């Protein structure tokens, strides 16, 4: 053997150059990168397959099926990688060698990636070199739609100042404007900026939702079950910008419906004061008060009693009395909520469905399970309902005092002599209310006016 090395094949040499090119991009070795390009060892628009588990480099059409490997890696040119790593020097070298600035090997242009990475320097350079500001990604989003974090606000401003269309809708089934996106992600500064630069406050997406409706819905962080102050601020701003508070989506839901679904009393109060109609019905015939009723038991951060009181104070129709058992069923763990709702009636008649409204498991868990056929005073004694003050005869003066106590909460009974004819009860401890409703009817067997007051 003569000991001479085997000649390198053209394919192996190309792979070596490609690997050196990629290493230079990752390490920001712009000198080495420039030397490779000057020698024309590789095309400036060469596409690489790189790891991309967060899919920053990739964009796909909605509803497309993807093979598993596409969820872990993406295709990208040197421009995309320079923007991804924030290597401004490499970006300039590539642009000086006429790299294709609007290339989309995996659905996004370098400008889309720069906005998603909130890299302001790269955004400025790309805009200076002729990047298309309103170009769609494969998923149908413009660069403004990729500005979804507080750190990307300056990128969005730069784009608008350079002529990006602030009312451009996504080219997909959502058809959302940048204002919808800012409202969704809770960016009040960006909302104000867009409106100041011509964004349509009541623009609608494909589902006929306005930015106000979007901000209202996303005000509740469902995972943490917390309310977002930024979304509250956005709603306040949009209302100040004269957004239509009673705008209806394609299911005829108003922003008030969405606030009620979140049991968000802050937004409900804001909208009702701005003129929201409390009795608007959606496509299923449900008003906002029915929405609150549906979600009371699954909104631990909420104060449902305030939601009910706000709606009733603004003219919401009361729950149909024969369906009052649904109130007890939904709110049996929230006596204050039942207190507010029941005080909206002049009188209400018991029916057998009340008896089944509170699950036995809940009574057992609180140590409150009991036979409803026992005498009333025995039940009160055994269950510790000692703060219930039963008065079969009550003076007009004491009734007026109780009425004033309730009026402080915004609700009161009709002040007429006829309303005193039935036995009347003053319940000082709201925690006892649910059992009290069941116990009294079972023991005495006739209808009763129940009057609750915080005394």
Average pLDDT for residues 327-351, to the nearest whole number? 87
What's the pLDDT at 398? 33
H helices within 264-359, ranges in order? Answer: 265-273, 288-295, 304-313, 324-331, 335-342
The answer to whether 142 and 134 are in contact (CB under 8 A) is yes
Top pLDDT among 133 and 58 is at 133
Average pLDDT for residues 84-110, to the nearest whole number? 95
State the Cα–Cα distance between residues 399 and 426, nearest whole angstrom: 9
- Architecture label for domain 10-163: Alpha Horseshoe (1.25)
Other beta carbons within 10 angstroms of residue 414's beta carbon come to 10
Average pLDDT for residues 314-328, to the nearest whole number? 91
DSSP line for 139-164: TS--GGGG--SGGGHHHHHHHHHTT-
Average pLDDT for residues 295-305, to the nearest whole number? 91
Name which of 184-198, 313-327, 424-438 the model is least confident about. 424-438
CATH number (3.40.50.720, 1.25.40.20, 1.10.220.10, 3.20.20.100) of 166-317 reads 1.25.40.20
**pTM for this model (two decimals):** 0.79
What's the pLDDT at 305? 94
- Secondary structure of 49-87 in HEC code, one letter for each residue: EEECCCCCCECCCCCCCCCHHHHCEEEECHHHHHHHHCC
pLDDT digits (tens, 9 = 90+) for 28-53: 888 999 998 898 888 999 999 999 88
Task: Give the strand pairing for 424-427 and 388-391.
Answer: antiparallel
Q: Please say if the pLDDT value at position 381 is more than 90.
A: no
- State the pLDDT confidence band at 364, using cuts at 50, 70 and 90: low
Largest CA distance in the chain: 122
- State the pLDDT confidence band at 101, using cuts at 50, 70 and 90: very high
Where on the phi/psi map is residue 384: left (φ > 0), alpha (ψ -120 to 50), or beta?
left
Assigned token pair, 101? 């600035």
The answer to whether 160 and 197 are in contact (CB under 8 A) is yes
- State the pLDDT confidence band at 428, using cuts at 50, 70 and 90: very low
**107 phi and psi angles, rounded to 5 deg:** 100, -10
Counting residues of the chain whose pLDDT is more than 70, the rounded percentage is 76
Top pLDDT among 194 and 2 is at 194
Task: Give the strand pairing for 449-452 and 424-427.
Answer: parallel
- State the pLDDT confidence band at 5, using cuts at 50, 70 and 90: low
The mean pLDDT value of the chain amounts to: 81
Top pLDDT among 421 and 29 is at 29
Name which of 114-128, 263-277, 359-373 the model is least confident about. 359-373
- State the pLDDT confidence band at 368, using cuts at 50, 70 and 90: very low
- State the pLDDT confidence band at 362, using cuts at 50, 70 and 90: low
Average pLDDT for residues 268-288, to the nearest whole number? 97
133 three-state secondary structure = coil
Average pLDDT for residues 371-382, to the nearest whole number? 38
CB contact burial 100-122 (16+ within 10 A = b; e otherwise): ebebbbbbbbbbbbbbbbbbbeb
- Do domains 10-163 and 166-317 share one topology? The answer is yes
Average pLDDT for residues 207-230, to the nearest whole number? 95
209 three-state secondary structure = coil
Q: Where along the chain do its domains lie?
A: 10-163, 166-317, 319-455
Tokens 């406050």: give the residue.
201
Top pLDDT among 70 and 270 is at 270
Top pLDDT among 325 and 147 is at 147
CB contact burial 136-174 (16+ within 10 A = b; e otherwise): bbbbbbbbbbbbbeeebbebbbbbbeeebebebbbebeb
* Whole-Å CA distances, 97 to 22, 33, 104, 140: 16, 11, 18, 29
Q: How far does the chain reach from its first CA to its final CA, in angstroms?
A: 107
Q: Please say if the pLDDT value at position 261 is more than 60.
A: yes
What's the pLDDT at 254? 98
């Amino acid at each position: 053997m003569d000991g001479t090395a085997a000649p390198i094949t053209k394919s192996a040499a190309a792979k070596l150059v490609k690997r050196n090119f990629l290493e230079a991009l990752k390490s920001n070795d712009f000198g080495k990168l420039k030397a490779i390009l000057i020698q024309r060892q590789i095309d400036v628009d060469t596409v690489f397959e790189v790891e991309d588990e967060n899919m920053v480099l990739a964009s796909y059409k909605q509803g497309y099926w993807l093979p598993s490997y596409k969820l872990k890696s993406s295709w990208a040119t040197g421009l995309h990688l320079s923007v991804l790593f924030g290597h401004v020097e490499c970006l300039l070298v590539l642009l000086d060698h006429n790299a294709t600035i609007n290339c989309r090997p995996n659905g996004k242009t370098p400008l889309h990636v720069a906005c998603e990475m909130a890299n302001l320097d790269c955004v400025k350079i790309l805009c200076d070199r002729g990047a298309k500001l309103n170009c769609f990604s494969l998923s149908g989003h413009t660069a403004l739609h990729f500005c979804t974090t507080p750190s990307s606000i300056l990128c969005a401003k730069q784009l608008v100042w350079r002529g990006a269309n602030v009312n451009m809708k996504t080219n997909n089934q959502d058809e959302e404007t940048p204002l919808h996106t800012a409202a969704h992600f809770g960016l009040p500064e960006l909302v104000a900026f867009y409106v100041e630069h011509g964004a349509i406050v009541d623009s609608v997406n494909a589902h006929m939702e306005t930015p106000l409706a979007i901000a209202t819905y996303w005000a509740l962080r469902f995972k943490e079950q917390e309310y977002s102050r930024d979304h509250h601020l956005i709603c306040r701003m949009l209302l100040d910008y004269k957004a239509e508070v009673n705008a209806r989506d394609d299911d005829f839901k108003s922003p008030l419906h969405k606030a009620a679904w979140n049991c968000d009393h802050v937004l409900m109060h804001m909208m009702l004061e701005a003129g929201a109609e409390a009795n608007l019905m959606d496509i299923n015939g449900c008003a906002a008060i029915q929405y609150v009723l549906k979600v009371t038991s699954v909104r631990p951060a909420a104060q449902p009693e305030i939601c009910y009181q706000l709606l009733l104070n603004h003219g919401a129709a009361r729950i149909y009395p024969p369906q009052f058992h649904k109130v007890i069923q939904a709110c049996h763990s929230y006596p204050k909520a039942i207190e507010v709702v029941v005080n909206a009636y002049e009188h209400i008649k018991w029916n057998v469905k009340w008896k089944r409204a509170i699950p036995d498991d809940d009574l057992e868990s609180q140590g409150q399970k009991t036979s409803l056929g026992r005498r009333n005073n025995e039940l009160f004694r055994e269950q510790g309902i000692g703060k219930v003050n039963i008065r079969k005869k009550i003076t007009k003066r004491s009734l007026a005092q109780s009425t004033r106590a309730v009026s402080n909460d915004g609700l009161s009974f009709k002040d007429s002599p006829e309303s005193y004819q039935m036995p009347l009860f003053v319940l000082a401890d709201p925690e006892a209310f649910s059992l009290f409703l069941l116990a009294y009817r079972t023991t005495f067997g006739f209808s009763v006016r129940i009057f609750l007051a915080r005394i």
